[in-house]
Structure 1
């Protein structure tokens, strides 16, 4: 006999059921998303949390109970995993934007001591700025740059993916690829 469910699964909309079915059958979705979708569909079809856990390849129903509660609150966003332990993230969106702002600034010989950019130069500039990040590491800077679509060029500069400078009769023009964002996904 099963226990009383404290937070039973709400009724799924047709769109939610369709998306969950699609994800549960997908071979390209992350395995965690597929398992969560299978568990939610099993609960929606009337199975207990323990049976749903086994249908999704898990052992215990407690995780399914937590997933159902989270799905009731957040909807399909509950399929994506959250922070999984360890130290909490230190740098939020404001700090990431500050790093990107510093990258977009061309290096100044007087202020930075060099005319070319590097991770160490960025780190030094961010640590010394009054509105900077005194503890930032080069690894954090590198991670933020890669997430934002920057790549390291042979000219020892960072370049935003999809933006390139072209010589034209009127001078140097920055050209932007309109399909850059869809290519990154």
Structure 2
């Protein structure tokens, strides 16, 4: 963008008309005039873009910190019936606890990303609380009889 602005100013300094400059650089005449007037007023500083900074953040730093803190606490410690956070579960608990009134999953993802916190996708199997689960599971497999296929 700086180069393009500088080229507009150079063309103006070479006595090109605003309509010709606009046509040459595919800009509106109004924009070319604004660039030239700004250069006349501010000098070389005018070549740097002025960004507005974007939309203000929706959530306070305190709310963001609480979400980050919540994401670092294992769900079982909070008495929840799952072992890992998913974005949707984190969203639900943050809203239930009154950290935020409403928040999107994408915003949760961005907050965690900024804090360098990664999350795991929810696993599709369930864990058992039974201490003998693995023994029973293996016994179940050994009891299964495989029957040979019969011919037709």
TM superposition score normalised by structure 1: 0.42
TM superposition score normalised by structure 2: 0.48
- Bigger fraction of residues in helix: 2
Q: Which has the higher contact order (CA 8 A, sep 6+)?
A: 2
Larger radius of gyration: 2
- Bigger fraction of residues in strand: 1
